[in-house]
Structure 1
Amino acid sequence: MTTAIVHVIEGNPQLRSLLRWHLSQLGLEVGLAAGLSEARQLLRSQCPSLIVLAIDLPDGSGLEYCRWLQAQDLAALILMISARSSEADVVAGLQAGADDYLKKPFGLQEFLARVQALLRRQRPQPLSRLEFGDLVVDLVQRRVEHHGRAIDLTPQEFSLLYVLVQAQGQPLSRSDLLQRAWPNAIDNPRTVDTHILSLRKKLEQNPQAPQLLQTVRNVGYRFTPEAMATRLAVS
């Protein structure tokens, strides 16, 4: 059975290390982030089962990050931790997308019990592997192969491909792609066009007549439904 991955996003270095140690004792793989920027970088390299998310972070709000995570359509559950303890604060956290809310200070035994309870009811895993002819896209390992040869994609190129694949053939506008695939706010839609061209050069047999990454006039781009038809179930 695959080891569950937990991301701990907490600004306090002592608490961050303490939580990592105790989670590791449960046999969990733990990734750490001190703020939102590190959290988004970590998310590009690992697909977690659970995210432990503090509300107050050095570079932004955990509530906003939680809302952003919901837009990514991830399978990860979210345990929000915060010193904000009013009923309104708890409601705000749950409405932002958290699956559970734990008030600081908390006992470690209660924290671990909450983590284990969440992992037991983890959401169904999303598509993890897609095959289209000789093209294989591994969404968990963030790896692409063609004819058994690894294709070198930048983290941003893979994020863009990931979002398009997750849309399951539905066209997405440039604005949608900027919001979902880019970790930081960008207001230049042509950035999407540049990355699409780069992806086509690496993935398409004929980039001038693309089959996988199609342009939808007056809308944006889509990953073709024919590719989605051959998707494989999560093992």
Structure 2
Amino acid sequence: MGSVYIQIVEGNPQLRSLLGWHLQQANYGVVQSADIRHAREVFHNRQPILVVLDSDLPDGDGLEFCRWLGQQKQSLVLMLSARNAEAEIVAGLKSGADDYITKPFGMQEFLARVEALLRRSRTMTPPASLEYGPVKTDLVQRRVRVKEEHIDLTPQEFSLLYVLAQAGGSPLSRSELLKRAWPDAIDNPRTIDTHVLSLRKKIETDPRQPSLIQTVRNVGYRFHLDRTSSAQLLMSSPSTEAVPQHQQLSRI
């Protein structure tokens, strides 16, 4: 189980360390975060199979972060909370948590819930396709359609679009996009600009006034999820460019 990463997002340092120690004793890989800002960074870098999430964090609402995690479609969530009223538990589960445990709790119960969630993850079938507003991505064939029209993207363009879309409308810096969408280490952030320009030429009505992939000043780029923008999209004709098999990316 050493290759299975569990992320702990807990503001209490004593509890965070205690949970981490017990999970490590059970041979899980563990990454820890004390706040949402760090949790997002760690999540992208480690891609945990399970996130143990406190509902109350020093820099934001754990329920909001749980909803963001749900948009990533990658991890299960076990929510920890001192809120034990029925309405609060329901709110936590509706935010996307796969399980909810109230504080204080016993360590054996905690480990049993973790094991139960991981058993569930082993039976989950990965999605064959994802939809983000007007954009549909086929994860098996690595193809993109916009309003049912096929858009011919290179493997790298596909990965960049996928990462932007999975951010759920949140802006991503150029360095973050390089880490998440490129298979090899690249230290030239302007590479992102070149590929964004290429994507815009294929899916935007007017690449000079993009409605789907938007520039965020002093940050980077975001994928605009407003469905009203879909009417402005242009269906590009399939490119004749062939991408050699050896250039296919090993990950999305």
- Alignment-derived partner of residue 31 in structure 1: 31
Q: Which amino acid aligns with 2:164?
A: V
| 1:27 shift after superposition | 1.6
TM-score normalised by the chain length of structure 1: 0.63
Query: Bigger radius of gyration, 1 or 2?
Result: 2
Q: RMSD value over aligned CA atoms?
A: 4.0
Q: Which amino acid aligns with 1:83?
A: A
Q: Cα gap change, 1:47/1:110 in structure 2, threshold over 3 Å: closer, same or farther?
A: same
Q: Cα gap change, 1:81/1:75 in structure 2, threshold over 3 Å: closer, same or farther?
A: same
Unaligned 5+ runs, structure 2:
128-138, 144-151, 174-188, 214-222, 224-235
- Bigger RCO (CA 8 Å, 6+ sep): 1
- Alignment-derived partner of residue 7 in structure 2: 7
| 1:71 shift after superposition | 2.4
- Contact 2:92-2:100 at 8 Å conserved across structures: yes
Q: Cα gap change, 1:121/1:212 in structure 2, threshold over 3 Å: closer, same or farther?
A: farther
Q: Which amino acid aligns with 2:163?
A: Y
Of the three residues 158, 172, 179, the one matched with 2:169 is 179
SS of residue in 2 equivalent to 1:31: strand
| 1:54 shift after superposition | 0.3
SS of residue in 1 equivalent to 2:47: coil
Q: Which amino acid aligns with 1:98?
A: A
- Alignment-derived partner of residue 112 in structure 1: 111
- Alignment-derived partner of residue 51 in structure 1: 51
TM-score normalised by the chain length of structure 2: 0.59
SS of residue in 2 equivalent to 1:80: strand
- Alignment-derived partner of residue 132 in structure 2: none
- Contact 1:9-1:16 at 8 Å conserved across structures: yes
- Contact 1:200-1:213 at 8 Å conserved across structures: no
Residue 124 (str. 1) matches residue 128 (str. 2): no
- Contact 2:204-2:211 at 8 Å conserved across structures: yes
Of the three residues 212, 219, 222, the one matched with 1:220 is 212
Provide the rounded CA distance (Å) in 2 between the counterparts of 1:98 and 1:78: 5
| 1:43 shift after superposition | 1.4
Unaligned 5+ runs, structure 1:
140-157, 167-176, 184-195
| 1:199 shift after superposition | 1.6
Provide the rounded CA distance (Å) in 1 between the counterparts of 2:201 and 2:43: 24
Q: Which amino acid aligns with 1:3?
A: S
| 1:89 shift after superposition | 0.9
Matches within 5 A, 1:29-178: 29-72=29-72, 74-122=73-121, 123-125=124-126, 162-164=163-165
Provide the rounded CA distance (Å) in 2 between the counterparts of 1:103 and 1:215: 47
- Contact 2:2-2:28 at 8 Å conserved across structures: no
Q: Which amino acid aligns with 1:84?
A: R
- Alignment-derived partner of residue 20 in structure 1: 20
Q: Cα gap change, 1:54/1:10 in structure 2, threshold over 3 Å: closer, same or farther?
A: same
Q: Cα gap change, 1:133/1:95 in structure 2, threshold over 3 Å: closer, same or farther?
A: closer
| 1:212 shift after superposition | 8.8
**Cα distance per residue 1:118-142 (max 9 Å; x no partner):** 0110143465996999856997xxx
| 1:2 shift after superposition | 7.3
**Cα distance per residue 1:69-94 (max 9 Å; x no partner):** 2223x220000001111111110000
**Cα distance per residue 1:167-191 (max 9 Å; x no partner):** xxxxxxxxxx7724449xxxxxxxx
**Cα distance per residue 1:41-96 (max 9 Å; x no partner):** 11121111000000111111101111122223x22000000111111111000000
- Alignment-derived partner of residue 177 in structure 2: none
Q: Cα gap change, 1:213/1:76 in structure 2, threshold over 3 Å: closer, same or farther?
A: farther
